[in-house]
A and B are shown apart, each in its own frame.
Chain A
Amino acid sequence: MSGLDARLVVRRGAFDLDLELAAAPGEVVALLGPNGAGKSTALRALAGLVAMAGGHIRVDGADLRPLPAERRGIGMVFQDYLLFPHLSALDNVAFGPRCQGTGRRDARRIAAEWLDRVGLAGHAASRPRALSGGQAQRVALARALAVRPGLLLLDEPLAALDAHTRLEIRAALRRHLAGFEGAAVLVTHDPLDAMVLADRLVVLERGRLVQRGTPAEVARRPRTDYVARLVGLNLYRGRADGGTVAIEDGAGKLDTVDSLTGDVFLAFAPSAVALYRTRPDGSPRNLWRARVAAIERQGDRVRVQLDGPPFAASADVTPGAVAELGLAEGSLVWAAVKATETHVYPA
């Protein structure tokens, strides 16, 4: 089998990681998860920087697990790039080819080509400290790619950048990843980076896989609270009985248009929640009385956290609506969600 096929088992004190990971050649897989989930540990295990307690790592059919880091032929872009401060950008990129036995002149020629490819031909002689964050990131990428790796690992490649540079670099990184022929694994805690850069997402929590799929699947059908928060949906577990779902950990029931039976997830967007000061006329079916727990401005919208009973939920309203409804923490409102706005899928 070509590409990456791995099972990573790492034990360190109370933490333990057990993750199966596969990526086809040319495919970008994003490892997504909260802090401490084991994303970076998984990446370091692939690179040979952390000892594995079990499992296997195969890249294009070759078993890499017995090999030390320097013989795995894996390119890695580190979170803060770790460019060698005493070497110029060119020599940083030439470092890998030199270690692979390429002569000095050829290594520099290869390095110059890579710098050109990432648009930094003019910065070949610059020391890392003279480079901006975005430039350093591109040099780090060029350095990792210059060893012609069979597998490319990226550890939070955009985390150290400010918001503006991030946009630009994300687009550039996407282009370079599209041009990379091997498998790539990207670690991030930013859902947007993952959605934009990756072909598939693998969500990791406490060292275990909790969900995998294409970005669209994961965004539409979150399976844990963490993923739901990430993609910005209200998520509930419950039991479906035809068109009605009884919410777990709560007294409420929600009507839906999907007719499933058994254990299900039910999701709806905060923007699908309508708030009223008084009980609305015509009574939409999913209507409940809720208490405002918190109000928080998010861009041009306002996120209102509603407390149970019957269940907690987030609602997005306009700033105008907040004033009109006289919303404040602790105030009571009526909340409604149309059955057509809910989405139910098997647990």
Chain B
Amino acid sequence: MLLLPALAGLAFLVLPLVGLLVRAPWSTLGTRLAEPQVLEALRLSLVSATLATVLCLLLGVPLAWLLARVPFPGARVVRALVTVPLVLPPVVGGVALLLVLGRRGLVGGWLDSAFGLTLPFTTAGVVLAETFVAMPFLVISVEGALRAADLRFEEAAATLGATRWTIFRRVTLPLVAPGVAAGAILCWARALGEFGATITFAGNFPGRTQTMPLAVYLALETDPQAAIVLSLVLLAVSVVVLAALRDRWVSAS
């Protein structure tokens, strides 16, 4: 009774990927990958996703620590707010970013007049858009790891004379390192695939803001073969990410 829909579901998930592999122009794959536009988009994607992940780590780990360890009124509301970008359509995120950080935005106007700093339609804008959508993945993962970590190790460190900061740096963080790594990988994968917020907030300028997903979308209209090649690269990256998280998820049962 359940087998048929289950198989249909599986086919639905797997077939598009198979299609991608079947229709790929394998013979010209090498030369197409070496095309400057492809390389440029790939470089931009890798750089911006990595920068976004670094930003997520710098801001997200302390935020996760705050949520997991410091009881404060409204913690539940804050936790809910943190997860909003998870469910928010990315395009809406892009619009929101534009309203706040755009040239006439609430903060963007000030940045522009005070520092001459413009974020929209720049590579920095790409990084910000990716950070916005990817950070919840990191925060949730790290917060979970912090909650699961045994607090008594921190007590043991305190009896040995460690200050709160030393405890965080030398005990807490190493203990939750697997959670941080998993969160960072997820975060990086999400940033790499980011489309909606990026195109809304940062636009689609080759070499500056045109990341792989944007290039795929654009190529689909002009050169479908190129779109397939670019998609294959993203698929390969996804598979690598999945492999990196294998121990954590696939064998979790």
Chain A positions within 8 Å of B, measured between CB atoms, are 47-49, 68-76, 78, 82, 84-87, 95-96, 99-100, 143-144, 147
Nearest residue, chain A, Cβ from B162 = A99
Other-chain residue from B152, B158, B159 in contact with A75 (beta carbon distance below 8 A): B159
Q: What number of B residues sit within 8 Å (CB to CB) of A?
A: 18
Apart from A49-B159, A95-B170, A100-B161: 16 A-B pairs, beta carbons within 8 A: A47-B159, A68-B158, A69-B158, A70-B158, A70-B161, A70-B163, A71-B161, A73-B161, A82-B152, A82-B155, A84-B153, A84-B156, A84-B157, A95-B157, A99-B160, A99-B162
Q: Is the CB of A96 within 8 A of B161?
A: yes
Q: Is the CB of A82 within 8 A of B153?
A: yes
Cβ contacts under 8 Å, A87 to chain B: 174
Does B177 sit within 8 A of A, measured CB to CB?
yes
Cβ contacts under 8 Å, A69 to chain B: 155, 158-159
CA distance A303 to B161 in the complex (A): 49
Given known contacts A82-B152, A95-B170, is B159 in contact with A74 (CB within 8 Å)?
Answer: yes
Cβ contacts under 8 Å, B150 to chain A: 82
User: Could you tell me the distance in whole angstroms from the C-beta of A264 to the nearest C-beta in chain B?
Assistant: 44
User: Could you tell me the distance in whole angstroms from the C-beta of B97 to the nearest C-beta in chain A?
Assistant: 38
Other-chain residue from B155, B162, B177 in contact with A49 (beta carbon distance below 8 A): B155
27 residue pairs from A and B, CB less than 8 Å apart = A48-B158, A48-B159, A49-B155, A69-B155, A69-B158, A70-B161, A71-B161, A72-B159, A74-B159, A76-B159, A78-B152, A82-B152, A82-B153, A82-B155, A82-B156, A84-B153, A84-B156, A84-B171, A84-B175, A86-B174, A86-B177, A95-B157, A95-B160, A95-B162, A96-B161, A144-B159, A147-B161
Q: Is the CB of A49 within 8 A of B175?
A: no
Cβ contacts under 8 Å, B155 to chain A: 47, 49, 69, 82
User: Could you tell me the distance in whole angstroms from the C-beta of A5 to the nearest C-beta in chain B?
Assistant: 20
Interface flags, B138-182, vs A, CB<8A=1, else 0: 000000000000101101111111110010001100110100000
User: Could you tell me the distance in whole angstroms from the C-beta of A209 to the nearest C-beta in chain B?
Assistant: 25
Given known contacts A84-B171, A85-B175, is B162 in contact with A70 (CB within 8 Å)?
Answer: yes
What are the 8 A-B residue pairs with the smallest beta carbon separation, nearest first?
A99-B161, A96-B160, A69-B158, A82-B156, A86-B174, A76-B159, A99-B162, A70-B158
Instruction: Give chain B interface residues in 219-240, CB to chain A under 8 Å.
Output: none
CA distance A73 to B152 in the complex (A): 18
Cβ contacts under 8 Å, A99 to chain B: 157, 160-163, 166
Q: Is the CB of A76 within 8 A of B162?
A: no
Nearest residue, chain A, Cβ from B170 = A95
Kindly name the residue among B150, B156, B157, B160 whose own CB sees the greatest number of chain A CB atoms within 10 A. Answer: B160
Cβ contacts under 8 Å, B161 to chain A: 70-71, 73, 96, 99-100, 147
Q: Is the CB of B152 within 8 A of A143?
A: no
CA distance A48 to B175 in the complex (A): 23
User: Could you tell me the distance in whole angstroms from the C-beta of A212 to the nearest C-beta in chain B?
Assistant: 26
User: Could you tell me the distance in whole angstroms from the C-beta of B208 to the nearest C-beta in chain A?
Assistant: 41
Q: Is the CB of A147 within 8 A of B158?
A: no
Cβ contacts under 8 Å, A143 to chain B: 160
CA distance A86 to B177 in the complex (A): 10
CA distance A147 to B161 in the complex (A): 8
Nearest residue, chain B, Cβ from A95 = B160
CA distance A48 to B161 in the complex (A): 11
User: Could you tell me the distance in whole angstroms from the C-beta of B60 to the nearest C-beta in chain A?
Assistant: 21
Other-chain residue from B158, B159, B160, B175 in contact with A86 (beta carbon distance below 8 A): B175
Cβ contacts under 8 Å, A68 to chain B: 158
User: Could you tell me the distance in whole angstroms from the C-beta of B151 to the nearest C-beta in chain A?
Assistant: 10
Nearest residue, chain A, Cβ from B175 = A86
CA distance A75 to B175 in the complex (A): 22
CA distance A86 to B150 in the complex (A): 13
User: Could you tell me the distance in whole angstroms from the C-beta of A237 to the nearest C-beta in chain B?
Assistant: 41
Nearest residue, chain B, Cβ from A85 = B175
Cβ contacts under 8 Å, A75 to chain B: 159
CA distance A47 to B153 in the complex (A): 14
CA distance A278 to B88 in the complex (A): 88
CA distance A95 to B171 in the complex (A): 10
Nearest residue, chain B, Cβ from A82 = B156
User: Could you tell me the distance in whole angstroms from the C-beta of A1 to the nearest C-beta in chain B?
Assistant: 23
User: Could you tell me the distance in whole angstroms from the C-beta of A140 to the nearest C-beta in chain B?
Assistant: 9
CA distance A144 to B160 in the complex (A): 7
Nearest residue, chain B, Cβ from A44 = B155
Cβ contacts under 8 Å, B152 to chain A: 78, 82
Cβ contacts under 8 Å, B162 to chain A: 70, 95, 99
Q: Is the CB of B156 within 8 A of A78?
A: yes
CA distance A99 to B164 in the complex (A): 11
Cβ contacts under 8 Å, A72 to chain B: 159
Cβ contacts under 8 Å, A48 to chain B: 158-159
Cβ contacts under 8 Å, B160 to chain A: 70, 95-96, 99, 143-144, 147
CA distance A78 to B170 in the complex (A): 19
Q: Is the CB of A76 within 8 A of B175?
A: no
